[in-house]
Amino acid sequence: MTMKPSSNIWIRRQQCPCGDWKCYVKYEGDDQTSVSSQLIKNETTSTSSSSEAVFMPYVGQIFKTDEDAFEYYSNFARKNGFSIRKARSTESQNLGIYRRDFVCYRSGFNQPRKKANVEHPRDRKSVRCGCDAKLYLTKEIVNGVTQWYISQFSNVHNHELLEDDQVRLLPAYRKILEADQERILLLSKAGFPVNRIVKVLELEKGVQPGQLPFIEKDVRNFVRTCKKSVQENDALLTEKRENDTLELLEACKAMAERDADFVYDYTTDESSKVENISWSYADSVRAYTVFGDVVTFDTTYRSITYGLLLGVWFGIDNHGKPVFLGCALLQDESLNSFAWALQVRGHNYLFPICNCLIVYLWLSSFEQTFLRFMRGRCPQTVLTDIDSSLRDTIARELPDTKHVICSWHVHSKLSSWFTPSLGSQYEEFKAEFDMLCHLEGIEEFEHQWNHLVARFGLASDKHIALLFSYRTSWPLSYIRSYFLARSMTAEFYQSLDEFFKRILSGQTCLQLFFEQVGFAADLRNRSKEALQYMHTKTCLPIEENARSILTPYAFNALQHEIVLSTQYATTELANGSYLVRHYKKMEGEYLVIWISQDEQIHCSCKEFEHSGILCRHCLRVLTVKNYFEIPEKYILFRWRLESSLVALEDRNGQCNSDEYAQVFHSLAATLLTESLFTKERFNHVHRELSRLLEHVRNMPVSNKFASNMAANNITVKVGIRKISGFVEDEIHKW
């Protein structure tokens, strides 16, 4: 079997953070893994289901090709407990091959061979016993169309037929899929013995022992066959890795010459070969000055071609979109590699570059430029995957930075971890686990956690123990006071996934990867955010004021809190603080501390500290205090329109929208009143309105204007429908 080269050099990391070599993670929604597993699990059932429609072949049965006939006979054979092989074929000058003979795998007899000149020759027994089961095909041409028909058929066997669980082990039905070939070679190269490779594949695909579509012998034969070619490929791959890494380094040097604000750094091994390399762009440095408070370091992907781990730093901008801050390629996942990416010493300053990886940069001639952009400050919070090396490195190198485990990374592993042991109970477990993640009190979390573990019998489960050991970094009850800037939302992680698809798809070398990252990091290539018209949902001046300051993304989050704030009652305490409680729910009251001297407001829910958006409880107190605007300090610069990295589309569109709506409603109301006096007026208004509407629809519209007025059009259309409907009713009355 030969290996087909992969068209993409990047794959998801599948090694489980629990450290057990037998444990691999299958990500929910990972197409390659899920499809491969599904093929393995359903191979027997799919074959049997497809063969249910296969009846016993008969003489005269017609097929379009001989391969169709062989597949049909093979499905029939598998269903009935045997396999077939191709025997003789007959050829003529005019027709080419015009006869095919398919026979039972036990047809004929084994011919005696010359014994090898060895001391202890192997005496292999043959399975052939002269079985006469067969199917002969003959080709004919009818009306210029070639077809094959069964000329002879016999289903008489002189041996026992196998049961379903035995027939799948016949050599004809054992096969190693291409995805499994790659996995086997990768594990073999890492030093895994064949029996462990088989065990890993069974665990990875979630199948019972012995249920793979191949056996240990097949894996051993495949590894032996490929060993020579693998050694040759390794030599070529090593050369390619070294050459491509040098090309990447040269590309960084060339970029630095063209752009003085481009920064990069690298390390070399004992042989002076490039080991680790990282880089970032001027736009990324500029973005970090505004959105460097919370960074996500993603180490989901690695390259099997180059043996490199990819780490990418992201921030979240004021529109809730990921902004690229930098990236690094590391030779391994050791503590030293992560420390290199995070370290600050001498004339090196901290610079975040990759999700869960803050890249250390050698400034030299770039020192003044770097300090002007970065100001030498660390992020408030770093979000990563579960990784002990990362946790220890961040704690050592960034002692003042909070470390948070991304909730998405936790949830993406749950199915792989708990479905095998929980089975049908998994969905119920997942629902309760989700509820646990959002509990606000630490004591309540730990109490409910113990209840969950006891209920599902997971006290000895290693993954439950792993999650509990990291509990200070992922449940809301522990991290509610950490500033995350809404970077734990599903929308943000979906945007991250789309970003990775753009920079990782269809690559065959590091040079192309570098170019695609550069294109994605260039703010000029980002689509401009259209400043959509934002409706107000209350009559509160606070909402109107916030709409003119915040981006649509931030305003929608704040508006949600403003609307809900109207459902809360306040009780003033003696010290000037307030108890805020929902008007229906008697439990879950919140303490809001108000300091009037310097307009400070703090809530026990910690929402502002967590997202940078004031909570409904604080907004309710501000309303009670007759505040018509949110205090300046509670509208963070990172959420304001003015902090946008890319120019917004038509900033005047929103202001004009209100004016257009008011003018339209005023004219429509006057027109309706004047048209009610006589029937003639009514007929004239109806006729002219229809003509005017048709004329307006045919007028060209500017794309920018249309995007800004889209929301208003809904209101306008509703108004037109109301007027037109009223006019129609009145005409019928007349």
100, β-bridge pairs: 89, 137
Residues in the chain where the model's pLDDT stays below 70: 1-9, 13-15, 19-24, 26-54, 112-124, 228-234, 304, 332-376, 506-508, 527-533, 647-666, 669, 701-734
- The CA–CA distances, whole Å, from 490 to 58, 318, 494, 617 equal 58, 16, 6, 24
The reply to whether 436 and 391 lie within a common domain is: no
> Is the Cβ–Cβ distance between 236 and 223 less than 8 Å?
no
The reply to whether 212 and 229 lie within a common domain is: yes
Residue with tokens 């503590």: 335
Amino acid (one-letter) located at 112: P
pLDDT at 623: 95
Check residue 279 and report its DSSP letter. E
The reply to whether 146 and 71 lie within a common domain is: yes
CA of residue 107 relative to chain centroid, distance: 52
How, if at all, do strands 263-268 and 274-280 pair?
antiparallel
Whether 694 is in a domain gets the answer no
Whether 52 is in a domain gets the answer no
Q: Is 400 exposed, middle or buried (0-12, 13-18, 19+ CB in 10 A)?
A: exposed
The reply to whether 365 and 376 lie within a common domain is: yes
Whether 276 is in a domain gets the answer yes
Q: Rg of the chain over CA atoms, in angstroms?
A: 35
Residue 284 backbone dihedrals phi, psi, to 5 degrees: -70, -40
From 223, 258, 293, give the residue that closes a domain.
258
Q: Buried b vs exposed e over 97-106: b needs ≥16 C-beta within 10 Å?
A: ebbbbbbbbb
Q: Which of 597, 616, 604, 610 is nearest to 636 (CA)?
A: 610
Residue 495 backbone dihedrals phi, psi, to 5 degrees: -65, -40
The reply to whether 244 and 304 lie within a common domain is: no
How, if at all, do strands 348-352 and 358-362 pair?
antiparallel
From 209, 227, 258, give the residue that closes a domain.
258
The reply to whether 625 and 539 lie within a common domain is: yes
How, if at all, do strands 145-154 and 568-572 pair?
unpaired
From 606, 627, 643, give the residue that closes a domain.
643
Number of domains in the chain: 5
Collect contacts of 140-145 with beta carbons under 8 A, ≥24 apart: 141/95
The CA distance from 114 to 121, in Å, is 11
Q: Which of 538, 607, 475, 523 is nearest to 319 (CA)?
A: 523
> Is the Cβ–Cβ distance between 616 and 564 less than 8 Å?
yes
- The three-state secondary structure class of 527 is coil
Q: What is the 3-state secondary structure (H, E, C) of 324-375?
A: EEEEEEECCCCHHHHHHHHCCCCCEEEEECCCCCEEEEECHHHHHHHHHHHC
pTM of the model: 0.65
Q: What is the DSSP string of 91-160?
A: EETTTEEEEEEEEETT-S-PPP-PPPSSSS---PPP-------EEEEEEEEETTEEEEEEEEEE---SSP
Where residue 274 sits, what CATH number does that domain have?
3.30.420
The reply to whether 570 and 503 lie within a common domain is: no
Whether 478 is in a domain gets the answer no
Whether 669 is in a domain gets the answer no
The CA distance from 36 to 182, in Å, is 12
The reply to whether 374 and 389 lie within a common domain is: yes
Query: Which structural domain, as residue segments, surrounds residue 537?
Result: 530-643
Q: Which of 31, 499, 477 is nearest to 296 (CA)?
A: 499
145, β-bridge pairs: 142
The reply to whether 365 and 499 lie within a common domain is: yes
Q: Buried b vs exposed e over 713-733: b needs ≥16 C-beta within 10 Å?
A: eebeeeeeeebeeebeebeee
Q: Which of 2, 6, 8, 7 is nearest to 230 (CA)?
A: 2
Amino acid (one-letter) located at 83: S
- The three-state secondary structure class of 570 is strand
The token pair at 210 is 């012995």
The reply to whether 306 and 418 lie within a common domain is: no
The reply to whether 161 and 222 lie within a common domain is: no
- The three-state secondary structure class of 210 is coil
The CA distance from 676 to 670, in Å, is 10
Inter-axis angle of helices 490-504 and 510-521, nearest 10: 140
The token pair at 155 is 């289903």
The CA distance from 595 to 693, in Å, is 56
Whether 346 is in a domain gets the answer yes
Whether 713 is in a domain gets the answer no
The reply to whether 360 and 391 lie within a common domain is: yes
The CA distance from 517 to 54, in Å, is 52
